[in-house]
Structure 1
Amino acid sequence: MSGETHAPRTGGGDGQTPITAADVAAQVGGRLVGDPTVLVRGVAPLDRAGPHDLSILSHRRYGGWFAESRAGAVLVALELADQPGRPATRVVVERPMDALIGLLGHFQRTEPRTAGVHSTAVIAPTVRMGAGVTVDAHAVVGDGVVLGDRCWIGAGATVGAGSSLGADVRLHPHAVVYPFTELGDRVVLHAGAQVGREGFGFVPRSTGVVRIPHVGRCVLEHDVEVGANSCVDRGSVDDTVIGAGTKIDNLVQIAHNVRIGRFCFIAAQAGLAGSTRIEDGAQVGGQAGLGGHLTIGVKASVAAQSGVFGDVPAGEVWSGYPARPHKEQLRTQAALVRLARLVKPLERLLGRPDASVEGAGP
């Protein structure tokens, strides 16, 4: 140990590639106010930012934090350009959050990668492997698998026999691709995600419960991302298909024969029962449950913790249990609150003895 000490980081970023405030302004097309030579090495919220962090002020509600912030430079909304605050170096932009998103890649930590197959990996002799593929320690790749160019199979991940992975696919540690699954280009499976397993299909018989054979495929199109410990079942009599650009959060269950369109968002702990259809651009909130054989229309939204038992029309927002149009659900909740206010006086009234009976003589 050399005895050298380093100040603890307050924000995000690896601190290896600092950028000046002038460069920030140039990259986002903003107006620079203050010192153009200020160096920022990462990003952080206003209340935790240090002198080498870039932060953001997009709403007046954060004015108190801005007044005391130690941020080296701040992306500031146009209408807040003159907001009183400690940071002297500001980059004034129309949409600070959009500008920040465009800069985050500069500060992102890059995971080290070495092309090639680790000595402990198990690769079947019939695997067809593209250029620049990485297979990490203890991964298993089965017979007849196709790995596209620059695929990265993480430690302990498994790719079942007959599966096909496109270019730039990333399987994080312990992800599982069951046999005969198809992944398009740039698909990402996070740690513990499992795609292509047989679904929850059983038929009761007099002799016991019989599993339904699953003959459908599981297909994830280009740029799909599946979060940690999420499951996507293969089809039973049809294919399960996740459309291009769709993003699935952690701990999500997608049952057999489900069809999800392009550019959809499915939040954590949502569950989609068999043969559900999610059309392009739709969104499903966290912990929502969707019954089987129903359709969520184009660009429709299902709010968190909703229970959906029927079709949701295109473009509408539904919420609640059972789910109904969101404005209708809000009116229902408001009516219940008003009803609760009426109950107490009624209870007091009904709880009093009847004066006419109490005072009546024989």
Structure 2
Amino acid sequence: MEFKATDIAAFLKGEVVGDGNVVVTNVSKIEDGKPGTLSFFANAKYESYVYNTNASIVLVNKSFEPKSEVIATLIKVDDAYQAFSSLLDLYQLTKKDTRKGIEQPSFIDETAATGDNFYLGAFGYVGKNVKIGNNVKLFPQVHIGNNVTIGDNCIFYAGAKVYDDCVIGNNCIVHAGAVIGSDGFGFAPQPDGTYKKIPQIGNVILEDNVDIGANTTIDCGTFESTIIRKGVKIDNLVQVAHNCEIGENTVIAAQTGLAGTTKVGKNCKFGGQVGLAGHLEIGDNVNIGAQSGVSNSIKDNETVLLTPAHNIKDAVRTAIVFKNLPKLRDEVIQLRKDVKSLQNSTSTDSKK
């Protein structure tokens, strides 16, 4: 679809600077802008691209004052990043997948109940006693196990798997290859050195408005529930072990791993490749930097970095010391030489 600058400005309650009749059909990054696309500028380090981008329209903050000529049409808004996000929402609505019905081959058990506008892609499977709400889309090769409940407006992309007895809330998105409800890693060591599997009979609960990234795995509880609270956003390739609980509106970046029975509070932010040991308590509003290793519980409102993870102030001091280690090593070597030289000089003087 085509969008004119004046129409976009009206939607965003912004101000057009330049040709209001210019038309765009897609979006682009400002550094890779192409004619007929819209981009945005919100980070000062990208300012140089504003003056030479080939994008037709650029969203900028109202406070932005160009230092030289700008070729593109500008739309000034209160917050360029948020405005761009709103436009992406609008763009996605124009491309919304309206498929419904059941493709073949696929299987739905006769005891399953599905709501209005249901879509099941080819090779999909829906087990016994499943309850599915309205406007749910299960793309090809999705597997829904027995006794699963799914709320309204959920999307499961190709190859997603939901094991028996799990509960999915409203407005959830589960991306391709994600597995919800797989067995937790529970094995009891035996006297002969082998391991006996401990049955995992719990489930997973995803509350409303949860997003699960591609190839992420969330293990069921041993005999209770692994719980992902409202508004949680989990990136690709994340492992959530059995009996974990993740609080509302927490966001977790890719390749993070949570060991069993760890409880995470509300509004936390985890960088990529964070590792959490088991049985920890992570408070509300906690920020954990990328590649941090967390072995102890963290109180509310803390920001931690490094491995083992510690408070950001101490972490920065540690990083500075670590950076200076080569210089400190050279100084220590020189000091040893100086001390040895002084000792030799003293020894020589004493013999005179």
TM-score bin (small chain)? over 0.9
Among 280, 301, 306, the residue aligned to 2:266: 280
Contact 1:270 1:286 in 2 (8 A): yes
Greater Cα shift, 335-344 or 148-157: 335-344
Equivalent position amino acid for 1:350 in 2: R
Determine if the alignment matches structure 1 residue 166 to structure 2 residue 163.
no
Equivalent position amino acid for 1:288 in 2: V
Q: Give 1:318 shift.
A: 0.8
Determine if the alignment matches structure 1 residue 200 to structure 2 residue 185.
yes
Q: Give 1:182 shift.
A: 0.6
Query: Structure 2-normalised TM-score?
Result: 0.92
| Residue-by-residue CA offset, 1:252-299 (whole Å, 9 max, x unaligned) | 000000011111101100000111011111112110000111111111
Determine if the alignment matches structure 1 residue 317 to structure 2 residue 307.
no
Partner SS, residue 79 of structure 1 = coil
Equivalent position amino acid for 1:224 in 2: V
Match of 1:3 in 2: none
Match of 1:263 in 2: 249
Cα distance between partner residues in 1 of 2:96 and 2:4: 24
Greater Cα shift, 29-38 or 257-266: 29-38
Match of 1:24 in 2: 8
Cα distance between partner residues in 1 of 2:137 and 2:257: 28
Determine if the alignment matches structure 1 residue 122 to structure 2 residue 107.
yes
Determine if the alignment matches structure 1 residue 235 to structure 2 residue 238.
no
Q: Give 1:125 shift.
A: 1.4
Cα distance between partner residues in 1 of 2:227 and 2:39: 40
Match of 1:95 in 2: 79
Contact 1:81 1:92 in 2 (8 A): no
Q: Give 1:173 shift.
A: 0.6
Partner SS, residue 155 of structure 1 = coil
Match of 2:333 in 1: 347
Between the two proteins, the alignment pairs up a number of residues equal to 346
Contact 2:53 2:72 in 1 (8 A): no
What does 1:41-190 correspond to in 2, within 5 Å?
Answer: 41-108=25-92, 110=95, 112-190=97-175
| Residue-by-residue CA offset, 1:231-265 (whole Å, 9 max, x unaligned) | 00111132110001101100000000001111110
Cα distance between partner residues in 2 of 1:184 and 1:139: 20
Cα distance between partner residues in 2 of 1:82 and 1:43: 22
Q: Give 1:339 shift.
A: 4.3
Partner SS, residue 344 of structure 1 = helix
Cα distance between partner residues in 2 of 1:285 and 1:88: 35
For the structure 1 residues 212 and 88, does the alpha-carbon distance in structure 2 shift closer, same or farther, using more than 3 Å as the test? closer
Q: How much identity, in percent, do the aligned residues show?
A: 32
Contact 2:54 2:72 in 1 (8 A): no
Equivalent position amino acid for 2:156 in 1: L
Among 315, 318, 334, the residue aligned to 1:332: 318
Cα distance between partner residues in 2 of 1:339 and 1:261: 40
For the structure 1 residues 88 and 241, does the alpha-carbon distance in structure 2 shift closer, same or farther, using more than 3 Å as the test? closer
Match of 1:10 in 2: none
Greater Cα shift, 54-63 or 64-73: 54-63
Cα distance between partner residues in 2 of 1:19 and 1:138: 38
Q: Give 1:153 shift.
A: 1.0
Q: Give 1:351 shift.
A: 5.3
Cα distance between partner residues in 1 of 2:3 and 2:324: 56
| Residue-by-residue CA offset, 1:3-45 (whole Å, 9 max, x unaligned) | xxxxxxxxxxxxxx11111111111111211221111111112
Contact 1:195 1:231 in 2 (8 A): yes
Greater Cα shift, 82-91 or 68-77: 82-91
Contact 1:309 1:323 in 2 (8 A): yes
Contact 2:137 2:155 in 1 (8 A): yes
Greater Cα shift, 272-281 or 327-336: 327-336
Q: Give 1:168 shift.
A: 1.5
Among 269, 279, 289, the residue aligned to 2:275: 289
For the structure 1 residues 128 and 66, does the alpha-carbon distance in structure 2 shift closer, same or farther, using more than 3 Å as the test? same
Contact 1:74 1:87 in 2 (8 A): no
| Residue-by-residue CA offset, 1:90-120 (whole Å, 9 max, x unaligned) | 1112211111111112333726443111120
Contact 1:271 1:288 in 2 (8 A): yes
Contact 2:109 2:126 in 1 (8 A): yes
Determine if the alignment matches structure 1 residue 247 to structure 2 residue 247.
no
| Residue-by-residue CA offset, 1:189-243 (whole Å, 9 max, x unaligned) | 1111001111001111225311112232211111111111110011113211000
Greater Cα shift, 63-72 or 176-185: 63-72
Contact 2:243 2:260 in 1 (8 A): yes
Greater Cα shift, 266-275 or 102-111: 102-111
Contact 2:164 2:203 in 1 (8 A): no
Query: Structure 1-normalised TM-score?
Result: 0.90
